[in-house]
Structure 1
Amino acid sequence: MKRHHWIVPSLAAVLGGLGYGVAQNLPSRDAASLQASAPAAVPADEAKEDLARPALSDRVSLGYRRKGDENFVEVRVSTVEPFNDVDRRLASTVAAAAVPASSVETALAPDVASGFQRSGATAFLRKVAAAGDAAAAEDVASTDTSAAPAFEATPLSSRLLGADEPVWQSRYFAGNPLVGGIFQGDGNRSDAAALIGAARTARYVLLGETHDNPDHHRLQGDIVSDLADQSSDLSLVFEMIPLRLGSALSAFGTQGAGAIDMDGLSDRLEWSERGWPDFSMYRPLFEAAKREGFAVIPGDLDRDVVSSIVQSGVSSLSSEMRSKLSLNGPADPEMVADLMSEVRSAHCGLMPEAALAPMADAQRARDGSLAAAMLDAAKTGDKAVLIAGAGHVREDRGVPSILERTDPDAETLSVRMLEVDAEDGDPADYGLKAEAPAPYDFTIFTPRADIDDPCEALRARMQEKGGSAAN
C-alpha cells in the first residue's frame, strides 16, 4: 500500500491536499492542471519552526481512500496550526482551480449531527475529502462515455500509435464508443497509467489476446516495452510455442542473443505449420526480447501429450507430470462444467458431447503447463509475462488461478484485449458488471479484425474431413 505523510501548515495542507485529492480522483486530463495549481511543499526549515511552536490545535491523521484508487491509496496529514475559518478561503481557491463550485460548497457546508455542528481538524478534513469526491463525481457524471479521453492520448499508446501508421489496423467497428477504452473488471473506466502501474508491481503479467487481431499484438508489444523500462530481468512465455521447440529459443536472454536469425525464427518454430496466424504480428515481441535481453520460454504442451489426455484422460500422465500441471487433485465440478460449456461454444456446438470432458481436461492441462512455465521463469527473473489467448488468462479458472494457489504472495495481473461486438457500447454488454465482475483485472477494447462467421468455416472443415474419411 502506497502511503504519503505530509507535515505542513494547515492552510497549505488543506489546499495542497484538496488539489492532490481532487486531481487523483478526476480523469487524467484534469489531474495535471490541478496538481500544478496546488501550493508548493513547505521548506524543511519552516516546518521545523512550526513544529517547535506550542500545540495550538489538534493534530489529525486522516486516511483517505476510495475503492479503486490504485495510485492514491492513503494520505495522512498532520497539522501544526488550527483549522480556523478557512472554509471560505478554501472554497474560493478551489473555484479558481475550476473545480465545480456547487459540489465544493455542498461538501463544505456545516456538518450537523445530533443537533450540534461538528468542528475541528478531523471534521474539516472529512469535508475536504467529500469535496474531492463530489467534484470528481460531478465531472464524471457530466462526461458522456463516448466523449471520454481517447485511448490514443494515453501513455500506453505513445509508441503504439505513431504518426506513420493508422490508429487501428483492425477494420471493423472502430467507431464503437468503447474502442480504446480501458476498464476494470467491474466496469469502471480506468486508464493506461493505472494498468502500467499495476503491471510494474506484479510478478506475473498475463496478456490475453484474440490470436488474429494485429492490434492485440501491438498492445502487448507496447506494454512489454513499458515494462522493459523498469525491469531488465523479464521473461516472455508464449502459449504458441510447445516445449519440444525450446531449443529454438535457447539463445534469447543470453550473450549470444545478438546472433539470433530473426528471419528464420518462424520456420524454426514451425509457426505456420502448426496453424498460428501470421508470424509478422508476433515478431515485434521476439525482436524486443532480442533487443532487451529477455528470455523467451515455451509454454504449451507438446501435441502428443494433449492427444494422450484427450484419448485417455489425465490418468494417462505420470504422477510427476500431473503434479507439475497442477492436476494432482480433484477438479472443481462447477469449473469443469464451465470449461465444457466454453469448449462447446468455441466449437460452435459441433463437438460430440462425449468429447467435451476430455477437451476440458486438455484445457486444464495446458493452463497448468503455462503456469508452470511462468513459475519457472519467475524463479530466475523478477517478472514473467504470458502471451496467450484470453481464455487462458481468466482469473477464475485459468493460469492466474494456478499462480495464485502456487505462489500466493506474488502479485498477478490479468489483462484482456477484447474485440467489440458491432455497436454494443456498454461495458455490461461484455460482462463487466459491479455485481458480477469479469475475471480480468483490466479489459482493453479494440475493433474487430474479422466479421466472418467462424462457425461456417468450422462446419466446412468438418464436412470435408468427414467426406475424406468416408472415401
Structure 2
Amino acid sequence: MKSRHWIVPSLAAALGGIGYGVAQNMSSAQMANTTPAAPAVRESLAQAETPGTSDRVSLSYRRKGDENFAEVKVATVEPFGGASAVEHHIAARIAATSEAHIAGETALASKGSDHPAQNGASAFLRKVAAAGDAAASGDQTDAAPAQAPAFETTRLSSRLIDNDEPAWQSRFFADNPLVGGIFQGDGNRSDAQRLIGAAKSARYVLLGETHDNPDHHRLQSDIVSDLADQSTDLALVFEMIPHRLGDAVASFGTSRSSSIDLDSMADRLEWSDRGWPEFSMYRPLFETAKRQGLSVEAGDLDRDVVSAIARNGVSGLSAEERARLSLDGAADPAMIADLGEEVRSAHCGLMPEAAIMPMVDAQRARDGSLAAAMVDAAKTGDKAVLIAGAGHVRDDRGVPSIIKRNDPEAQTLSVRMMEVADEDGDLADYGLTAEAPAPYDFTIFTPRADVDDPCEALRARLKGKAGTASE
C-alpha cells in the first residue's frame, strides 16, 4: 500500500456518501452461552471482606474510573498448595478472559447498557472470582477464547495516554506496530494527551472515520466525552443525518433531552434503510449527547438535492443554496482534477466516466453542507464536532478548508482514524512524511475491520443493476 491510501476515501464512504445518489441517477451477542460462577464462589465473594475470612488469593484490580476500592480480597473454594503459582495462573486467566463473558456479562456492559452491575468494579470482580474458581478446581489453562475483544472499562484515549494495550474490536492486523499509535501529519509521533489538548483548544473538531470500523467510533466517543467534560456547550454534527431528518434529533441539548428514546432513534433516522452500518456502533455518541446535554445537528444534504446535482451539476442549485454550500466561487482546477481521481479510484475504476464529475460536484456540495452545519452550530456554542468519513475531514480540500474560509479566525482540528492495510508498519506507505504531510492534524491507527475486496462487491452490484435494466 502506498500513499494513495491517504488521498482516497474508503469505498464505504464513497458509496454511502457521494455515490449513493449519483450512481442511482447514472445507472437507474458475542457468546450466547456462558457458565455462571459457581454458587460457592458467589458465597465466597459475599464473605470476601468479612473479618476473619481466610484469604487464599489477594489481587489488586482497581482501574481508572472504578469505584474507590483500594483492594479486594478474593477467597476461593478450596485451599491452594503453592499459593504463588496459583496466583500466577489466576492473573494469567484474568488477562486471557478479559475478552470473554463472565457469569453472563462482559468486562464492560454491552452496547447501550446502563446497568451498574455490568460495569467497572463489579464486572471485574466477577472475572476474578471465576478465574479463582477455575484455578481452585485445577483448571489452569491460559488459552484465550477465540472471539472479538470486549470494551475496556477505561476510555481508550486514557489507555493510550498511559501506554496500555487497548483491546480492539476490529480483528485484522492488530499486531501491526502502528496500531494504537497517534501521529502528526508529518509522521512525528504524538499521543492522546496532546491530541485531546489540541481538541480542547479548537473551536471546530473533525473526527474522520471508516464507517464500518467499530474502533473508530470508540475513539470518537472517547474524544467527545473528554471534550464534554470540559464544556457541555458543544454540538455534534453528523454526516449520517440529512437535513430532512433534523427533527428526529431536535430535542438533544434542550430541556426535553431526558425524554429522548435512544432505542427508537435508529428507526427515526432511517439508519439502516439509508445504508449506514449498525447504529449500535454510533449509539455511544448519542448516549453521551443525551447524558451531557449536547445538541445534535443534521449535516448532510438530502438525497433529492444530491440527485439534482447528479442531473444538472451545481448550476441547477439556486444562487442562495450555492452560497450556503460555498459553491458560488470558482473552483481550483487542480483540486477538481485531484478529487476526480479520488472518486475514480474509490469506485475501482468501474463507474462511467460521465459519472465522475457529477460525483465530484456532489462531494463538494456535501462538504459545503457539513461545513455550513458546523459553522451554524458553533455560533450558538463553544465548539462543534463533526462525525464523518475521513475523506470529508481532510484539511486541504474537505470541510476544514471551507470552515477556514468562512471563519478564518477560529482554530480547526482534523483527526483521521485509519485502518492499517496489512502488517506493514512503514509510515511513508500511509502518506505520513515530512516531505509531503498527510492532510490531517492527527492520525490514529487501528486494526482493520474487514479484509474483503470492496471492488468485488461493487462489480457485483453494478452487474446486478445492468441485468435488471436489460430485462
Taking structure 2 as the reference length, the TM-score comes to 0.66
Aligned residue for 2:454?
A: 454
Aligned residue for 2:384?
A: 384
Asked if structure 1 preserves the Cα contact closer than 8 Å seen for 2:209 and 2:217, the reply is yes
1:381, 1:425 → 2: CA distance? Answer: 40
Q: Is 2:328 the partner of 1:328?
A: yes
Aligned residue for 1:441?
A: 441
SS at match of 1:282: helix
Q: CA deviation at 1:345?
A: 0.8
Aligned residue for 1:157?
A: 157
**Superposition pairs of residues 331-370 of structure 1, within 5 angstroms:** 331-370=331-370
Higher relative contact order by CA 8 Å / sep ≥ 6: 1 or 2?
2
Aligned residue for 1:229?
A: 229
**Superposition pairs of residues 6-405 of structure 1, within 5 angstroms:** 157-158=157-158, 167-405=167-405
Q: CA deviation at 1:158?
A: 3.0
Aligned length: 318
Aligned residue for 2:34?
A: none
Asked if structure 1 preserves the Cα contact closer than 8 Å seen for 2:185 and 2:443, the reply is yes
One-letter amino acid of the counterpart of residue 308, structure 2: S
2:384, 2:166 → 1: CA distance? Answer: 30
Aligned residue for 1:114?
A: none
1:205, 1:166 → 2: CA distance? Answer: 23
1:279, 1:377 → 2: CA distance? Answer: 23
Please, what is the CA RMSD of the aligned residues?
A: 1.9
One-letter amino acid of the counterpart of residue 214, structure 1: P
Structure 2: segments with no counterpart, 5+ residues: 1-151
Asked if structure 1 preserves the Cα contact closer than 8 Å seen for 2:242 and 2:300, the reply is yes
Q: Deviations over 1:29-81 (max 9, x none)?
A: xxxxxxxxxxxxxxxxxxxxxxxxxxxxxxxxxxxxxxxxxxxxxxxxxxxxx
Asked if structure 2 preserves the Cα contact closer than 8 Å seen for 1:160 and 1:218, the reply is no
One-letter amino acid of the counterpart of residue 271, structure 2: W
Asked if structure 2 preserves the Cα contact closer than 8 Å seen for 1:159 and 1:222, the reply is no
SS at match of 1:326: coil
Q: CA deviation at 1:156?
A: 5.2
2:155, 2:271 → 1: CA distance? Answer: 32
SS at match of 1:337: helix
1:405, 1:434 → 2: CA distance? Answer: 25
Q: CA deviation at 1:159?
A: 6.9
Asked if structure 1 preserves the Cα contact closer than 8 Å seen for 2:156 and 2:166, the reply is no
SS at match of 2:238: strand
Q: CA deviation at 1:166?
A: 7.1
Q: CA deviation at 1:160?
A: 8.9
Aligned residue for 1:8?
A: none
Q: Deviations over 1:329-362 (max 9, x none)?
A: 1111010111111111111100111111110000
1:159, 1:461 → 2: CA distance? Answer: 41
The verdict on how the C-alpha distance between 1:300 and 1:439 changes in structure 2, with shifts beyond 3 A counting, is same
1:301, 1:359 → 2: CA distance? Answer: 14
Asked if structure 1 preserves the Cα contact closer than 8 Å seen for 2:177 and 2:425, the reply is yes
2:439, 2:268 → 1: CA distance? Answer: 35
1:431, 1:166 → 2: CA distance? Answer: 24
Aligned residue for 1:418?
A: 418
Asked if structure 1 preserves the Cα contact closer than 8 Å seen for 2:160 and 2:180, the reply is no
The verdict on how the C-alpha distance between 1:446 and 1:166 changes in structure 2, with shifts beyond 3 A counting, is closer
Q: CA deviation at 1:181?
A: 0.2
Q: Deviations over 1:69-117 (max 9, x none)?
A: xxxxxxxxxxxxxxxxxxxxxxxxxxxxxxxxxxxxxxxxxxxxxxxxx
Taking structure 1 as the reference length, the TM-score comes to 0.66
The verdict on how the C-alpha distance between 1:426 and 1:154 changes in structure 2, with shifts beyond 3 A counting, is farther
SS at match of 1:433: coil
Asked if structure 2 preserves the Cα contact closer than 8 Å seen for 1:208 and 1:388, the reply is yes
Q: CA deviation at 1:154?
A: 10
The verdict on how the C-alpha distance between 1:176 and 1:154 changes in structure 2, with shifts beyond 3 A counting, is farther
SS at match of 2:418: strand
Aligned residue for 1:94?
A: none
SS at match of 1:178: coil
Q: Deviations over 1:390-416 (max 9, x none)?
A: 000000000000001110100000000
Q: Deviations over 1:163-194 (max 9, x none)?
A: xx970000000000000000000000000111
Q: CA deviation at 1:232?
A: 1.6
The verdict on how the C-alpha distance between 1:160 and 1:468 changes in structure 2, with shifts beyond 3 A counting, is farther
Aligned-residue identity in percent: 77
1:154, 1:194 → 2: CA distance? Answer: 18
SS at match of 2:465: helix
SS at match of 1:255: coil
